[in-house]
């Protein structure tokens, strides 16, 4: 990405552009799609809404993991820790202190972001693999702490349920609609937040960090601050996904690879981002749709499902490291959601 070229800099034969007709049309289209999706509860059945909620939290997870790895160069294998915290904070607030479940979910996301701050101070000094495993240790520690909590709202190792607080206030239909809107809202807010962030000065410095950390530091980029901001946003976003999962499946457990603190969430995140396109803005959304289609039409859960996820992720990492969207971008030089600048030759102004 061209950090220092001013968009208006004019060199004969070249021009720097950000918005193109295509990207304007697509961004407008995406905004329109979000508005259209907001009306879905009035138009489609309960099954479709349940499935779309699943797609929405997958999109959030993929976006957050991509923000860390694709923009910050941080491979986390511990985002499930924040997913679990978001879910457990939400269930605790609405069971123990009878807060509104949706308010609890929102607060759960904020708590995830708040807990990410001290975690960032511990793990961000580490590089690559050391960072990866340290995040996993933190997630494991959270899971064990939750499993040891005898508070009836937490339920220790056997888990807990948010069924009562939801049923107390809402009918099952209302719960479905409100959860749908909450999930869609979370996707829209986080998408917009990342979009604005990556277009800002910080976005440019983040991409400089990803491309060459030492070089970035030498031109005055505050490397740790940039990574810290990403880590906190990813913590809050992952916690939001966890809170949505709570409202979607109601009961959660803390232990095991399939639990709310389970490593399988990270397997899904890595799959989505690698398949969609690591480090592209659009890629994680495509990856989430691919995973959603696989889950809906091929297999959901089970041994072979995860063997397939892991195998496909390895295949993409080795053979098509740019993923679906990165490959398309390279071949056709298109960008639908403009987070960078592009250099055009020949069109001179």
Partner 1 sequence: MTWVSVVIHGMLLGGVYALLASGLSLMFGVMRIINLAHGSLALVGAYMALLLTEHLHISTYLSLAVVLPGALIVGYLLQRTMLERSLRAGQLVPLLTTFGLLIVIANLLQRFFSPDVHSLDAGRIGPASWQVSSSLTIGWFDVLTFGLAFAVLGGLQVVLKYTQLGRELRATAEDPDTAELVGVNARAVYARATAIAVATAALAGVFYGIRSGFDPNAGANELLYAFEAVVIGGIGSLWGTLGGGIVLGVAQSVGAQINTEYFALAGHVVFLVVLVLRSMRQAGALRLLRGKVA
- Write the interaction track for partner 1 spanning residues 63-102; mark x where CB under 8 A is met and - where it is not: ------x---x-x-x-------------------------
| C-beta closer to partner 1: residue 143 or 244 | 143
Two structure tokens written together for 143: 């899971």
Question: Is residue 140 at the binding interface for partner 1, with CB under 8 A as the rule?
Answer: yes
Question: Is residue 123 at the binding interface for partner 1, with CB under 8 A as the rule?
Answer: yes
The distance of closest approach from Cβ of residue 277 to partner 1 in the complex, given in angstroms and rounded to an integer, is 13
Contacting partner 1 (CB under 8 A), which of 24, 31, 121, 192?
A: 121
Question: Is residue 313 at the binding interface for partner 1, with CB under 8 A as the rule?
Answer: yes
The distance of closest approach from Cβ of residue 191 to partner 1 in the complex, given in angstroms and rounded to an integer, is 24
In 3D space, the residue among 20, 19, 2 whose CA is nearest the CA of residue 11 turns out to be: 2
Distances from the Cα of 91 to the Cα of 80, 127, 160, 317, angstroms: 16, 34, 8, 37
| C-beta closer to partner 1: residue 107 or 134 | 134
Question: Is residue 187 at the binding interface for partner 1, with CB under 8 A as the rule?
Answer: no
Question: Is residue 209 at the binding interface for partner 1, with CB under 8 A as the rule?
Answer: no
User: d(Cα 161, Cα 81) in Å, to the nearest integer?
Assistant: 18
The distance of closest approach from Cβ of residue 125 to partner 1 in the complex, given in angstroms and rounded to an integer, is 4
Ordered DSSP codes for 195-261:
HHHHHSHHHHHHHHHHH-HHHHHHTT--HHHHHHHHHHHHHHHHHHHHHHHHHHH-EE-SSSTTSTT
User: d(Cα 38, Cα 178) in Å, to the nearest integer?
Assistant: 11
Size of the site for partner 1 (CB under 8 A): 48
H-state helical runs in 67-171: 72, 79-96, 101-123, 128-147, 163-169
274: exposed, middle or buried (Cβ count in 10 Å: 0-12, 13-18, 19+): buried
Question: Is residue 220 at the binding interface for partner 1, with CB under 8 A as the rule?
Answer: yes
91: exposed, middle or buried (Cβ count in 10 Å: 0-12, 13-18, 19+): buried
Q: According to CB under 8 A, which residues from 268 to 287 bind partner 1?
A: 270, 274
Question: Is residue 310 at the binding interface for partner 1, with CB under 8 A as the rule?
Answer: yes
Residue ranges binding partner 1 (CB under 8 A): 69, 73, 75, 77, 121-123, 125-126, 128-130, 132-134, 136-138, 140-141, 144-145, 147-148, 217-218, 220, 224, 256-257, 263-264, 266-267, 270, 274, 303-304, 306-307, 309-311, 313-314, 317-318, 321
């Amino acid at each position: 990405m061209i950090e220092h070229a001013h968009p208006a800099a004019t060199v004969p034969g070249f021009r720097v552009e950000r918005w193109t007709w295509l990207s304007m049309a697509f961004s407008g289209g995406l905004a329109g799609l979000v508005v259209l999706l907001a009306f879905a509860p009035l138009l489609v059945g309960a099954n479709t809404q349940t499935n779309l909620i699943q797609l929405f939290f997958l999109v959030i997870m993929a976006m957050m993991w991509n923000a860390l790895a694709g923009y910050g160069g941080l491979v986390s294998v511990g985002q499930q820790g924040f997913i679990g915290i978001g879910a457990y904070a939400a269930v605790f607030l609405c069971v123990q202190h009878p807060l509104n479940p949706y308010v609890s979910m929102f607060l759960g996301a904020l708590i995830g972001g708040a807990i990410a701050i001290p975690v960032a101070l511990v793990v961000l000094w580490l590089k690559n693999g050391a960072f990866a495993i340290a995040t996993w240790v933190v997630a494991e520690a959270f899971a064990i702490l939750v499993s040891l909590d005898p508070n009836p709202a937490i339920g220790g190792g056997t888990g807990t349920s948010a069924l009562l607080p939801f049923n107390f206030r809402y009918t099952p239909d209302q719960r479905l609609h409100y959860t749908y809107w909450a999930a869609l809202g979370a996707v829209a807010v986080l998408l917009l937040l990342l979009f604005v962030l990556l277009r800002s000065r910080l976005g440019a410095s983040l991409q400089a960090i990803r491309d060459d950390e030492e070089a970035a530091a030498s031109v005055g980029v505050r490397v740790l601050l940039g990574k810290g901001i990403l880590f906190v946003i990813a913590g809050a976003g992952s916690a939001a996904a966890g809170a949505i999962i709570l409202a979607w499946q109601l009961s959660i457990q803390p232990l095991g690879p399939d639990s709310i603190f389970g490593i399988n969430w990270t397997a899904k995140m890595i799959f989505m981002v690698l398949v969609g396109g690591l480090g592209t803005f659009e890629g994680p959304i495509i990856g989430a749709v691919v995973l959603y289609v696989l889950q809906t039409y091929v297999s959901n859960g089970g041994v072979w499902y995860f063997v397939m996820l892991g195998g496909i992720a390895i295949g993409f990492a080795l053979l098509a490291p740019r993923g679906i969207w990165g490959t398309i971008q390279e071949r056709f030089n298109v960008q639908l959601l403009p987070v960078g600048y592009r250099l055009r030759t020949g069109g001179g102004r």
